[in-house]
Amino acid sequence: MSEDKKKQNYSADSIQALEGMEHVRMRPSMYIGDVGVRGLHHLVYEVVDNSIDEAMAGYCDVISVIINEDNSISVKDNGRGIPVGIHKKEGVSALEVVMTKIGAGGKFDKDSYKVSGGLHGVGVSVVNALSIHLKATIYREGKVWEQEYSQGKALYPAKVVGETNENGTIVTFKADDGIFQTEIDYNYDTLSMRMRELSFLNQGVTISITDKRRKDDEGNFIEEVFLSTEGLTEFVKYLDASREQLTSEVIAMEGEKNGIPVEVAMVYNTSYAENLHSYVNNINTHEGGTHLSGFRRGLTHTLKKYAEGSGLLKNLKFDIAGDDFREGLTAIISVKVAEPQFEGQTKTKLGNREVSAAVSQAVSEMLTDYLEEHPDDAKIIVQKVILAAQARHAASKAREMVQRKTVMSGGGLPGKLADCSWTEPEKCEIFLVEGDSAGGTAKQGRDRNYQAILPLRGKILNVEKAMQHKVFENEEIRSMYTALGVTVGTEEDPRALNISKLRYHKIVIMCDADVDGSHIETLILTFFFRYMRELVENGNIYVAAPPLYLVKKGKNREYAWNDEDRDAIMKKFGGGTIQRYKGLGEMNAEQLWDTTMNPEERTMYQITIDNAAEADRVFSMLMGDEVPPRRKFIEDNATYANIDI
């Protein structure tokens, strides 16, 4: 091929590639979900997933993620290195194909067993398209190769820049601020959480994260190194660190059924919460799917059979339901599926039918073995199940009361609710306010057209430690159900949540900005997380942020939400007096409106669950029995450091 011809080919190909890349830039949300904070962080996960694939193929055991000072990200691995040879069909290096062709990721090498694949399995080329600059450095077969790109376009063909006796890949990218509707500023905790999770899911792979934007007291960059030697067993122990384990060991299995790798770890604890977390190809399947239903079926079937055979159920006067087998259960189910079909609202529900039987069989086999080998544990589990069934019967009565008292079924709204006058839920907000006095101020300060106020008296019930029927009997909790128009229980499923009549699309928790307030805030959040999780997942839950200080000098007044702002205002004013707001009650109605309730001015945090497993761990720690971790956590004043807000 003549030099000219080559060039032509090259440009023909790159035009085609460009079309794909242009599409990514025109419709980024189609590829990465959104162009907010979440989408930004997904870029990192997408690149890391490529290295994880290499690790899963058995060629890589160290992956490093670096947040550089300029908020670019480097992901480095010690795998084989992305191939750099000329790709026959495309006429450019395989590296360039991977980096600039949509969906080329695994396709050009059919033999590589690619099962991971990022949020939407879109590949690193999507990250490239959405980066103002990306550099790939490949250590392979004695040479160091390099290629750079801008907005997905190669700046030059891959070239040799040095020699090496190492192998691996480094991808450094800077997200394009013209694409994202958020500052290009990564949250260390969010990334670190995901790396920890990946290390549990990929036993034996060392995954480190370094933040070059910040140093610790000794002058070293903030850094964590994760390496899990026990995999899911360790994950379950980590999640249940603040819970009391019921059985002597974590029940764990790993195997392959019908060509589907299945891994499960589970343990019973003394709590009443069910904590199942499921993964497909390292992706958290929040909405569950066939692997989760397979797990449930295997568990119920096996435990039921064992319990019946053991004679422990002899004098039982009521039935045992599927739920009863999962009370106080923490479990992780991780499967690898070659061609996963994701369904559901957030595309996190596994649809592949064949997976259900594979997981169910795997669970039955492992659990049967475990129960036979551990008769003492087996007895403890069965007794726990019986207790759960008893409690469920008590709860169903209490739940009926919640149902009967809701708006739709004719009962009135709670007396202390100051409702708004508009009735379109999408325009309406409800403030859940700590205490009657702050509730009164909020009532005066609000815009009564679309803002409702529900004062909650003192500390609400800690649902983490309470049995279900206590939760449904609790007056403050009942008033929340009624005011919100949320009901529990349908014909088919007595525990199903019905949010179709939700009366307000924004539910704002408004508490004092002190330790007590933050505790109450956490109690309310725990309730939503455990009993109305769909609202959290749908983004309906917010936390109000009242100011901490009012700085006054003469006629000048300004509010401050933290110490730095306070100091800056003092400096600007050239001194002044500082009023510290200890509670909402110290503000008058106008001040509360101006700072905390007026949509034009206020700061509120939307609560989302980026990482359900971690959120679960945090809630169990904050609200569970063990006091020391909770104290430390609250003292660190990072009540939801691990919940993306």
Q: Which of 28, 39, 83, 455 binds ligand 0RA (CB under 6 A)?
A: 83
d(CA 582, CA 547): 10
Contact between 349 and ligand 0RA by CB under 6 A: the answer reads no
Site for ligand 0RA in 566-625 (CB under 6 A): none
| In the complex, minimum distance from the CB of residue 136 to ligand 0RA, in angstroms, rounded to a whole number | 9
Interacting stretch for ligand 0RA, rule CB under 6 A, among 81-89, 259-267, 313-321, 427-435? 81-89
- With CB under 6 A as the rule, give the number of residues binding ligand 0RA: 12
Q: Which of 28, 79, 414, 455 binds ligand 0RA (CB under 6 A)?
A: 79
- 3-state helix, strand, coil split of the chain in percent (to 5) is 40, 20, 40
**Residue holding tokens 């709590």?**
271
Residues in Cβ contact with 205 at an 8 Å cutoff, skipping those fewer than 6 apart: 52, 55, 60, 61, 62, 63, 198, 199, 227
Q: Write the CA distances from 102 to 31, 50, 304, 363, 472, integer angstroms.
A: 10, 14, 49, 38, 51
- Nearer to ligand 0RA (CB atom), residue 9 or residue 112: 112
Clarify whether 512 is annotated catalytic. Answer: yes
| In the complex, minimum distance from the CB of residue 110 to ligand 0RA, in angstroms, rounded to a whole number | 10
Contact between 50 and ligand 0RA by CB under 6 A: the answer reads yes
The token pair at 426 is 């999408």
| In the complex, minimum distance from the CB of residue 205 to ligand 0RA, in angstroms, rounded to a whole number | 13
Interacting stretch for ligand 0RA, rule CB under 6 A, among 79-87, 334-342, 500-508, 558-566? 79-87
Contact between 54 and ligand 0RA by CB under 6 A: the answer reads yes
d(CA 616, CA 609): 10
Q: How buried is 11 (Cβ within 10 angstroms: 0-12 exposed, 13-18 middle, 19+ buried)?
A: exposed
- Nearer to ligand 0RA (CB atom), residue 148 or residue 594: 148
DSSP state of 418: B
Beta strands 275-280 and 329-335 are: parallel
| In the complex, minimum distance from the CB of residue 133 to ligand 0RA, in angstroms, rounded to a whole number | 18
Catalytic entry in 514, 565, 567, 586:
514
Q: Where are the beta strands (DSSP E) in 164-274?
A: 168-175, 206-215, 221-226, 251-257, 260-268
Interacting stretch for ligand 0RA, rule CB under 6 A, among 77-85, 205-213, 392-400, 469-477? 77-85
Clarify whether 516 is annotated catalytic. Answer: yes
Residues in Cβ contact with 239 at an 8 Å cutoff, skipping those fewer than 6 apart: 275, 277, 330, 332, 613, 616, 617, 620
Q: How buried is 341 (Cβ within 10 angstroms: 0-12 exposed, 13-18 middle, 19+ buried)?
A: middle
> What are phi and psi for residue 350, nearest 5 degrees?
-75, 130
Closest CA relative to residue 112, chosen from 98, 102, 126, 125: 98
| In the complex, minimum distance from the CB of residue 140 to ligand 0RA, in angstroms, rounded to a whole number | 8
Catalytic entry in 53, 324, 434, 476:
434
Task: Determine the straight-line distance between the first and last CA of the chain, rounded to whole angstroms.
Answer: 56
Beta bridge partners of 263: 254, 334
Beta bridge partners of 174: 133
Interacting stretch for ligand 0RA, rule CB under 6 A, among 78-86, 155-163, 360-368, 622-630? 78-86
Q: Which of 80, 87, 326, 566 binds ligand 0RA (CB under 6 A)?
A: 80
> What are phi and psi for residue 395, nearest 5 degrees?
-70, -35
The DSSP-derived string for 131-189 is EEEEEEEEEETTEEEEEEEETTEESS--EEEEE-S--EEEEEEEE-TTT-SS-S---HH
Clarify whether 400 is annotated catalytic. Answer: no
Contact between 82 and ligand 0RA by CB under 6 A: the answer reads yes
Q: How buried is 69 (Cβ within 10 angstroms: 0-12 exposed, 13-18 middle, 19+ buried)?
A: exposed
Contact between 282 and ligand 0RA by CB under 6 A: the answer reads no
Beta bridge partners of 163: 143
- Nearer to ligand 0RA (CB atom), residue 168 or residue 288: 168
Site for ligand 0RA in 154-193 (CB under 6 A): 169
| In the complex, minimum distance from the CB of residue 107 to ligand 0RA, in angstroms, rounded to a whole number | 10
Catalytic entry in 512, 537, 614, 616:
512
| In the complex, minimum distance from the CB of residue 106 to ligand 0RA, in angstroms, rounded to a whole number | 7
- Nearer to ligand 0RA (CB atom), residue 104 or residue 267: 104
CB 223 within 8 A of CB 211: yes
Clarify whether 514 is annotated catalytic. Answer: yes
- Nearer to ligand 0RA (CB atom), residue 50 or residue 278: 50
Q: Which of 14, 68, 112, 206 binds ligand 0RA (CB under 6 A)?
A: 112
Q: Which of 19, 69, 109, 244 binds ligand 0RA (CB under 6 A)?
A: 109
Interacting stretch for ligand 0RA, rule CB under 6 A, among 80-88, 147-155, 244-252, 624-632? 80-88
Catalytic entry in 230, 377, 516, 586:
516
- Nearer to ligand 0RA (CB atom), residue 57 or residue 401: 57
Q: Catalytic residue positions?
A: 434, 512, 514, 516
Contact residues for ligand 0RA (CB under 6 A)?
A: 50-51, 54, 77, 79-83, 109, 112, 169
